[in-house]
Amino acid sequence: MTEPTPAPDGWGARARIGVVVPHADVGPESELQALAPRDVVVHGSRVHFGAMRAGGEMDPKIPHAPIRAFIEPPHVDTAVELLAAAPLDAIALGFTSSAYVLGPAGEKELYNRLRGYTRGLPITGTTKAAVAGFDALGARRVAIVNPPWFDDELSGLGADYFTEFGFEVVQHGPCGLPSNQKLITPEALTDWIRTTVAEAEPDAVLVAGNGIRAVGVIDELERDCGFAVLTANQVLLWHALHLADAAHLASEITSYGRLFTVSPS
């Protein structure tokens, strides 16, 4: 008599990635799990973000004070420490705007602080991963598409961040879509990038902001426009898998852009 085959139960993970997200945001975990190959599992930890309310609601433009508060001790440190207590392979910060307000030097200090809580696990974040992604793709002229809830000042800080790393930011700004996570569709985002960004002729575009619905547009935009397309959660998973010595798993991702065909330098 043939022994029955047990149904999949999630325990046989080939890699486990931890992600720290704002308390009311489901976007990062949703997109990361959609991107992940079979048996790569995403585990979330939440930190209160003062610009979001219950149900994921937020102001049309988020203030900067809660952005800074998100990455100040002790709450994000505790979230990282609790994630690192689990048998994970890498940890990621699913939050873009903090790096904008900190700048590269402040972001470096943040990671140096958080490494004290990671139990030796590698840790990355959206902008850190994006820099590695641009470099791996050989992109020097880049466009930064920010969520509509970023104001012009925050977008400018983002452009300054990437400029400090030697990239030519040929275009940046909040995208002209409704400032509401639930109202942003892949079709609308695709149309906006085609009509607004393509004429700048970048080597690559980053759709920043982990809470904007974006991974579904990557392949279509790359086919139609010719430039590489990075999104906050796509590049976060790519970098986390490579840091976890799981490049073979990253290479299994075939429907979310040319990024997954290259490795960090």
Is the residue at 5 inside a domain? no
102 and 165 belong to one structural domain: no
Report how far residue 148's alpha carbon sits from residue 184's, in angstroms, rounded to the nearest whole number.
10
Q: Are residues 74 and 165 in the same domain?
A: no
State whether 195 and 104 are in the same domain: no
On whether both 166 and 214 belong to a single domain, the answer is yes
Do 93 and 144 belong to one domain? no
Q: Are 247 and 119 members of one domain?
A: yes
Provide the CATH number for the domain around residue 148: 3.40.50.1860
145 Cβ partners below 8 Å, 6+ apart?
172, 173, 175, 192, 193, 197, 205, 206, 207, 208
Based on the domain organization, do 21 and 105 belong to the same domain?
yes
How far the first Cα of the chain sits from its last, in Å, is 53
Closest CA to 142 of 238, 208, 217: 208
Q: How many domains does the chain have?
A: 2
pLDDT, residue 62, reads 95
Beta bridge partners of 41: 16
Cα separation, 145 vs 160, whole angstroms:
14
3-state SS record for 97-119: HHHHHHHHHHHHHHHHHHHHHCC
Predicted pLDDT of residue 139: 98
Domain that holds residue 189: 130-232
Report pLDDT for 1: 61
pLDDT of 5: 85
- At 85-107, the pLDDT tens digits run 999 999 999 999 999 999 999 99
Three-class secondary structure of residue 236 per DSSP = helix
With respect to residue 113, please indicate whether it lies within any of the assigned structural domains.
Answer: yes
7 within domain boundaries: no
Q: Identify whether residues 97 and 32 lie together within a single domain.
A: yes
Determine the Cα–Cα distance for residues 130 and 6; give it in Å rounded to an integer.
Answer: 40
Q: Is residue 2 part of a domain?
A: no
Tokens linked to 77: 């440190």
Task: Tally helices (H) and strands (E) across the chain.
Answer: 10, 10
* 116 and 244 both lie in a single domain: yes
DSSP sequence for 165-206: TT-EEEEEEE-SS-S-GGG--HHHHHHHHHHHTGGG--SEEE
Residues 140 and 191 in one domain: yes
Same domain, 69 and 134: no
- Cβ atoms < 10 Å from Cβ of 68: 15
Residues of the chain with pLDDT under 70: 1
- Indicate whether 171 belongs to any domain: yes
What pLDDT is attached to residue 134? 98
Q: Is residue 4 part of a domain?
A: no
What is the structure's pLDDT at 109? 98
Quick check: is 1 in a domain? no
Question: Residue 70's domain is classified under what CATH number?
Answer: 3.40.50.12500
Is residue 19 domain-shared with residue 121, that is, in the same domain? yes
